[in-house]
Chains A and B, each alone.
Chain A
Amino acid sequence: MDAILLQVLNGLDKGGAYALIALGLTLVFGTLGVVNFAHGAVFMIGAFCAVTLQKVLTISMKVRDKSVTFFEAYKETPYLEVWFGEWGTMMIDYVVILSILLAIPVMLLVGLVMERGLIRFFYKRPHAEQILVTFGLAIVLQEIIKSFFGANPIPVAAPEIVSGSANVGAWFGLGDALVYPWWRLIYLASSLIVIGLVFSFLQFTTYGMVVRAGMEDRETVGLLGINIQKRFTIVFGMAAVVAGLAGVMYTPILPPDYHMGMDFLVLSFVVVVVGGMGSLPGAVAAGFLLGILQSFASMNEVKQIIPGIDQIIIYLVAVIILLVRPRGLMGRKGVMET
């Protein structure tokens, strides 16, 4: 029982990342009708926001180590610690949280620049060309990151206070066997919060209502005198922020490297297709579902029955879904069904 619950948690965790990226992909597809292969790269840039901030905060100077009295010893101490003492140490400790504040404006900017600079010229071009140009953009972005940060993964630590594990089992009266890292729980919670925010923005604000109307029938909304294009651009920026936040929060779990975006992109596309092209709830549900499926498939008991299933389960599900129910789990009839 514990093992199963643990796998569910693991799956929800991974699913959180899939769901956030897939949500952005679907937002972009639903509003602008663009298939964005560069979305994975946006996720990666988000992760590197955290890396950058960590590098900036830990710029160090050499300080005389007074505990050593025999000879002159120096140790590297970040400026922040020198200037602010305890506060500085704490700031460095909470770098991931601080990077969220940094990531929101940065990612919004990245998204807007991307949309205005490139994507808008591709609304009317065939999907194949959209895929190709964004694929090219993804290569460019990841190579730029690589040239600045190198090819190796760069670890970013979660704050000290949440570095341990939570005794999840005890919360539900299941004994002490079920423990789970705090940070992963926080990740799960915050991805749920982000998803909730996006949905309530679309559902409960006037702005969101107009965007949804635009997704239904862009032309009519335009005829009513609303500049729908501008709103869609903002939505693109929002999608970038969502992916970026996913990236920032994911850094303590998986040290970011330059090709993490591509790795997640392929899977997220599969998630979008399984959920149904253009369906936001579908993307989220499929994200969590596939995450859970994957973590169950990587249990040893399952692997013994069907070797290698953990490697292919997601793709297998996607193939089956596409062949049996091409509109996906929650896709609407008639949307990209052929």
Chain B
Amino acid sequence: MFNLSPKNDTVTMAIFAIAVLAMPLWLAPIGASYPDLLQKFAIFGIFAVGYNILFGLTGYLSFGHAAFLGVGSYAAVWSFKLVTMNVLPAVLFGTLIGGVFAALIGFVSLRRSGIYFSILTLAFAQMSYNLAYSVLTPITNGETGLQLTQQDPRIIDSLFVAAGEGLPSTNLFGLKMSGYPGFYFCAVLLIIAFFISLRIFRSPFGLKLLAIKSNQVRMNYTGFNTRPYMLIAFVVSGMYAGLAGSLLAVTDPLAGAERMQWTASGEVVLMTILGGAGTLVGPLLGAGIIKYFENIFSAYNDQLLHQMLAFLPDGMEGAVVALLGLFVGEGWHLTLGIIFMAIVIFLPGGLMEGIRRIGGMIQKRGGGKKPEQTGGVMRPTEQEG
């Protein structure tokens, strides 16, 4: 799965597709095989893969991607409210709006680079968040969040079926988008998204983005205008975020402003870095790990810990539970922060670099051969801000 040289792209894609579609099977032993969590894997996988096209390839650290996620969610819910409960228009609409929004913000933000770019994107995201909470309440429904109601027009749906009792659910031509069907819908989109990202990594366009990362000044000196390329990368990753946002709405037709807060942007940065920025599979891995542990860790509480550690002597048990209690349940973010710091400090290339290092060690011990530099794995290079 991790051998990603361009020659066996087809093989990679096939393996990847099978792996994603079979997730309910091979994730069962670690207790992650229920639809809600699987949906989250796929959705945040898309988000992180898209973020990686920007951050991984060009090295531009955006702290505002949650804005596109939130906008995508709102767009999708509005599509449910106004047009139809079918998910296809919602997803298209969400992706499109995410892209348009990214084009607007990117056009301005990309005039600067380094830390200024980070702060510009952060400023725009915070603006959107604050506005969504206050003035844009007619569109976003403020703190309550945008929800479906009985009175929504749903123009196309109302032509075919009379409004039934209760709220309608999202569907794909009649197939309800909750539980496993919802997951498979997200999974198929994830596979498509991954394929596009793979093609971008392999294309001359992707190489140009990498060149921008390693030395933008030199690119400019050779008479190469980098900005259009940056803008395209930014818009594409914004569309990915919009898609992810609309999928969040598909699986649960709700949209709230808190999805746009900058801590949410921080989360996707964490995912990408944790897995390995600039690698193909890394961000997916990061998204999966964070969502998995978020679920597992926050489920633990003190009682559960007491049960698990009942074999320890009494006094010790209390102490151990008190200590572990800091890191699980409510305190899960503490664990996340520590893991994240450790990754940035010791393994700036993320988990993928770790895997590569271990692989290299095994190879060295086996045949004394030098570890092969695989095409997909790019070390982040020094960049002057």
Q: Known contacts being A139-B336, A307-B135, A311-B134, is A133 close to B108, with CB within 8 Å? A: no
Interface string of A311-330 (1 = CB under 8 A from B): 11001101100110010000
A245 to chain B, nearest CB (A): 25
Q: Answer yes or no: B124 CB below 8 A from chain A CBs.
A: yes
Residues of A within 8 A of B262 (CB): 266
Interface residues on A, range: 35 or more
Interface string of A244-283 (1 = CB under 8 A from B): 0000000000000000001000100110010001000000
Complex: A273 Cα to B131 Cα, angstroms:
22
Residues of A within 8 A of B334 (CB): 139-140, 143-144, 147
Q: Answer yes or no: A334 CB below 8 A from chain B CBs.
A: no
Q: Known contacts being A136-B337, A336-B114, is A270 close to B385, with CB within 8 Å? A: no
Q: Answer yes or no: B288 CB below 8 A from chain A CBs.
A: no
Q: Known contacts being A139-B340, A308-B131, A308-B135, is A322 close to B331, with CB within 8 Å? A: no
Q: Answer yes or no: B308 CB below 8 A from chain A CBs.
A: no
Interface residues on B, range: 35 or more
**Could you name 10 residue pairs across A and B whose Cβ atoms are closer than 8 Å?**
A35-B115, A126-B383, A131-B115, A133-B345, A135-B266, A137-B337, A140-B341, A273-B119, A308-B136, A311-B133
Apart from A126-B385, A135-B266, what 17 extra A-B contacts exist at CB < 8 Å? Answer: A126-B382, A126-B384, A128-B385, A131-B115, A137-B341, A139-B337, A144-B326, A144-B334, A266-B122, A270-B119, A273-B119, A312-B130, A318-B123, A336-B115, A336-B385, A338-B112, A338-B113
B51 to chain A, nearest CB (A): 13
Cβ 8 A contact of B127, one of A135, A146, A312: A312
Q: Which of A128-182 contact B (CB under 8 A)?
A: 128-129, 131-133, 135-140, 143-144, 146-147
Residues of B within 8 A of A308 (CB): 130-131, 134-136
Contact A323 B385 (CB under 8 A): no
A311 to chain B, nearest CB (A): 4
Interface string of B99-113 (1 = CB under 8 A from A): 000000000100111
Complex: A273 Cα to B269 Cα, angstroms:
22
Q: Which of B300-331 contact A (CB under 8 A)?
A: 326, 330-331
Contact B341 A315 (CB under 8 A): no
Chain A CB within 10 A, most for which of B334, B336, B383: B334
**Chain A minimum-CB-distance residue to B137:** A308
The B interface, classified by DSSP as helix, strand, loop or mixed, is helix
B318 to chain A, nearest CB (A): 16
Q: Which of B27-62 contact A (CB under 8 A)?
A: 59, 61
Contact A129 B127 (CB under 8 A): no
Contact B118 A147 (CB under 8 A): no
Residues of A within 8 A of B330 (CB): 146-147
Complex: A3 Cα to B330 Cα, angstroms:
44
Q: Answer yes or no: A121 CB below 8 A from chain B CBs.
A: yes
Cβ 8 A contact of B337, one of A140, A270, A307: A140
Q: Answer yes or no: A116 CB below 8 A from chain B CBs.
A: no
Cβ 8 A contact of B115, one of A127, A138, A270, A315: A127
Contact B341 A319 (CB under 8 A): no
Cβ 8 A contact of A338, one of B114, B122, B266, B273: B114
Residues of A within 8 A of B344 (CB): 129, 132-133, 136
Q: Which of A23-38 contact B (CB under 8 A)?
A: 35
Contact B120 A319 (CB under 8 A): yes
Contact B345 A121 (CB under 8 A): yes
Complex: A311 Cα to B129 Cα, angstroms:
9
Residues of B within 8 A of A338 (CB): 112-114, 116, 385
**Chain A minimum-CB-distance residue to B336:** A139
Contact B112 A326 (CB under 8 A): yes
B105 to chain A, nearest CB (A): 10
Cβ 8 A contact of B108, one of A121, A136, A319: A319
Q: Answer yes or no: B126 CB below 8 A from chain A CBs.
A: yes
Contact B127 A311 (CB under 8 A): yes
**Chain A minimum-CB-distance residue to B332:** A143
Residues of B within 8 A of A307 (CB): 135
A274 to chain B, nearest CB (A): 10
Complex: A315 Cα to B129 Cα, angstroms:
12
Q: Known contacts being A127-B115, A135-B266, A336-B114, is A311 close to B341, with CB within 8 Å? A: no
**Chain A minimum-CB-distance residue to B335:** A143
**Chain B minimum-CB-distance residue to A314:** B123
Residues of B within 8 A of A35 (CB): 115
Complex: A209 Cα to B89 Cα, angstroms:
65
Chain A CB within 10 A, most for which of B108, B123, B337: B123
Cβ 8 A contact of A323, one of B108, B113, B336: B108
Chain A CB within 10 A, most for which of B116, B136, B336: B116
Q: Answer yes or no: B156 CB below 8 A from chain A CBs.
A: no
Contact A322 B116 (CB under 8 A): yes
Complex: A277 Cα to B119 Cα, angstroms:
12
Q: A-B pairs with the 6 shortest C-beta distances?
A: A308-B135, A139-B337, A311-B130, A143-B334, A136-B341, A140-B337
